[in-house]
Amino acid sequence: MPPLHTGTGDIRGDKYLSAMTGALRWGRLPCAGDTPVVTLNSGQTITVDTVSHEGLLDDQGADPVTFFGEYGIAHNEILDDVRELAGASLVRNGDDGPHVVLGPISIAGARPGDVLCVEQLGLTRRVDYGIISNRHGLGVLAGEMPESSDLVCVLGRVGTDERAHIALATGRQLRFDLRLQLGLVGVTPGDGCARSSTPPGDYGGNLDIRYLGVGSALFLPVQVPDAGLYLGDPHFAQGNGEVALTALEAPLRADLRVTVLSDRDARRLAQVLASPWAQTSTHTILVGLGGTLDEAMRDGVRRALAYVCEVTGADRASALAFLSAAADFEVSQAVNGVVGVHCLLRTSDLR
């Protein structure tokens, strides 16, 4: 496929945000008081061009044309905004994350205590290739993998079957289905501190929940006036756990609808959960976070318990029994410093 460059192709949103350097920051989340890059009214839609950090990082040479050229990707297959970003003088410190973060997007009238609903209306591939990377000291098998060097980058290319293909030295290929998603969507934290983009938190951010693709809605408790929405970390596919360190990282065009929920029930649920939650066509998703897998699991159970009690009126003992029999707890990711465990509740079970 030809690259989906800035401003080309279908732009369906009421507003459009490109990944040119004035609209982004590298490795850091927005802070309260940062100047917004665009303003939306509640209920409006926006089309956003996101880019991946793979090929831009220092340990990859910070030159995407050369980096991807070594994998057989031609110069004219590299996005224009990626080339611009490589030549820009954006500051990225050692404690910053790797992600190219777009925002903040101001949502007019959003107040702390409200809920920001971010609906994924559409996700479109901007290229037909991406990278999965594994670095020493990072990933689930830190210190054990990679075996041969400090950095291993594996190219995944989308075939005519619309599946990702990884070529092996034996001549065979590993193939898997695409599942487009944004790994990083959040609101500006309310504490005023500059934060790395890597760990998720009660503001959302780098949640890396594989189910948050087209048709999903993410609910984020607002912490600062006008919310300060941001997004990034586009994925072509991610497994639960994200065990190597990254998903199949690759740029996407995202069509989103953003709505402020300020009614009493929404504000009450945000207060009870004090954490993001999400919905798909079939499930409600609760988010647990912690420094270890055990802590994240316990946090996820507590959030799910609070949700079931709040929406059904169940007592805690009955709600816990329900979760034990009917809910599925999965590892979102175990590689972001803060571990994520999400709970899948069948929405039909709660009617």
Among residues 254, 296, 304, the alpha carbon closest in space to that of 278 is found at 304
Quote the Cα angle for 279-230-115, to 5°.
45
CATH label of the domain that carries residue 337 = 3.10.28.20
Residue 94 pLDDT more than 80? no
| pLDDT reported for residue 182 | 99
Segment among 87-91, 247-251, 257-261 with least mean pLDDT: 87-91
Quote the Cα angle for 21-65-18, to 5°.
25
Residues 6+ apart with CB under 8 A from 163: 175, 176, 177, 178
Residues 6+ apart with CB under 8 A from 58: none
Q: Average the pLDDT over 296-311 and give the result.
A: 99
In a domain, 182, yes or no: yes
Average pLDDT score over the chain = 96
Structure tokens at 122: 């559409």
Q: What is the pLDDT of residues 182-220, one digit of tens each?
A: 999 999 999 977 899 999 999 999 999 999 999 999 999
**In a shared domain, residues 180 and 247:** yes
pLDDT band for position 149 (50/70/90)?
confident
| pLDDT reported for residue 35 | 95
| pLDDT reported for residue 351 | 85
**In a shared domain, residues 37 and 183:** yes
**In a shared domain, residues 55 and 147:** yes
pLDDT band for position 80 (50/70/90)?
very high
User: Among residues 231, 261, 291, which one ends one of the domains?
Assistant: 261
| pLDDT reported for residue 22 | 79
| pLDDT reported for residue 118 | 99
Number of domains in the chain: 2
| pLDDT reported for residue 148 | 81
CB atoms within 10 A of CB 113: 14
| pLDDT reported for residue 20 | 84
In a domain, 225, yes or no: yes
Percent share of the chain, pLDDT over 90? 92
Residue 88 pLDDT more than 90? no
**In a shared domain, residues 155 and 75:** yes
Q: How far, in Å, CA of 176 to CA of 198, rounded?
A: 26
CB 300 within 8 A of CB 276: no
**In a shared domain, residues 67 and 149:** yes
Q: Average the pLDDT over 326-351 and give the result.
A: 98
Burial (CB count within 10 angstroms: exposed 0-12, middle 13-18, buried 19+), residue 16: middle
In a domain, 41, yes or no: yes
User: Among residues 202, 226, 261, which one ends one of the domains?
Assistant: 261
Q: What is the DSSP string of 93-115?
A: -TTS-S-EEEEEEEETT--TTSE
Q: How far, in Å, CA of 275 to CA of 219, rounded?
A: 9
**In a shared domain, residues 154 and 224:** yes
**In a shared domain, residues 71 and 41:** yes
In a domain, 274, yes or no: no
In a domain, 270, yes or no: no
CB atoms within 10 A of CB 38: 16
Q: How far, in Å, CA of 128 to CA of 158, rounded?
A: 5
- Helix (H/G/I), strand (E/B), else coil: 308: helix
Q: Average the pLDDT over 105-114 and give the result.
A: 98
Q: Average the pLDDT over 323-347 and give the result.
A: 99
CB 25 within 8 A of CB 101: yes
**In a shared domain, residues 136 and 47:** yes
Q: Average the pLDDT over 326-332 and give the result.
A: 99
**In a shared domain, residues 316 and 192:** no
| pLDDT reported for residue 97 | 96
Q: How far, in Å, CA of 345 to CA of 337, rounded?
A: 26
- Helix (H/G/I), strand (E/B), else coil: 196: strand
CA of 103: how far to CAs of 37, 158, 184, 231, in Å? 6, 29, 12, 7
| pLDDT reported for residue 89 | 74
Residue 159 pLDDT more than 80? yes
CB 33 within 8 A of CB 100: no
| pLDDT reported for residue 92 | 79
Residue 38 pLDDT more than 90? yes
In a domain, 3, yes or no: no
In a domain, 35, yes or no: yes
Residue 42 pLDDT more than 80? yes
CATH label of the domain that carries residue 115 = 2.60.120.580
| pLDDT reported for residue 90 | 78
Structural domain range at position 83 = 15-261
| pLDDT reported for residue 78 | 98
In a domain, 7, yes or no: no
CB 203 within 8 A of CB 220: yes
User: Among residues 261, 296, 326, which one ends one of the domains?
Assistant: 261
Residue 344 pLDDT more than 80? yes
Q: Average the pLDDT over 223-239 and give the result.
A: 98
More confident residue, 74 or 87: 74
221: preceding bond cis by omega (within 30 degrees): no
pTM of the model: 0.97
**In a shared domain, residues 145 and 54:** yes
**In a shared domain, residues 319 and 254:** no
Residues 6+ apart with CB under 8 A from 195: 28, 29, 189, 201, 205
| pLDDT reported for residue 136 | 85
**In a shared domain, residues 167 and 235:** yes
